Amino acid sequence: MTEKEKLQHLINHNSFLAINHIELTDVGTDWAIMELKAQEDSLNPMGLVHGGALFTMADSAGGAAARTDGRNYVTLSSSFTFLRSGLPGDLIQAKGRVRRRGKTTCYTDVDITNQKGDLLANGSFIYFHVPEPDLPV
């Protein structure tokens, strides 16, 4: 199984992303794209896409981009800016790309846009490399 296939499998079996309607749609070396079709349960009480959905997409896209080297990562820190609201029915895309890899950390940038290309949010994330967990047999 290729690294891309492993990552796709990992994301496809992530219940948190599934219940939030977030999917990995494309991935390559040092980048990943996640998408969300904004549905009723993606919205906040004002009828706009919930900021938590956008942040989740960004963290997941950045983490997926980091993981394209085949290693495991956890989020160490982030900075996130909301610029424009997502609307019901929007097709929202998060594009994560690696800016720098170190021995133990990986720095990524993520842009979130709607189907018109409007920038909704931007984030920077630092991920920490963790060794493979010891899973029970």
Q: Nearest 10 degrees: CA dihedral of 121, 61, 131, 4?
A: -160
Profile the chain (137 residues) by mean pLDDT over runs of 10 residues: 77 86 94 95 95 97 95 96 97 98 97 98 97 60
Domains, the chain, ranges and CATH? 3-130 (3.10.129.10)
By C-alpha distance, which of 61, 76, 136, 137 is closest to 106?
76
pTM for this prediction: 0.91
Amino acid in position 12 = N
How far is residue 120's CA from residue 82's CA, in Å, rounded to a whole number? 6
Tens digits of residue pLDDT in 101-124: 999 999 999 999 999 999 999 999
pLDDT of residue 135: 45
What is the separation of C-alpha 85 from the centre of its chain, rounded to a whole number of angstroms?
A: 18
Token readout for 131 is 């060794």
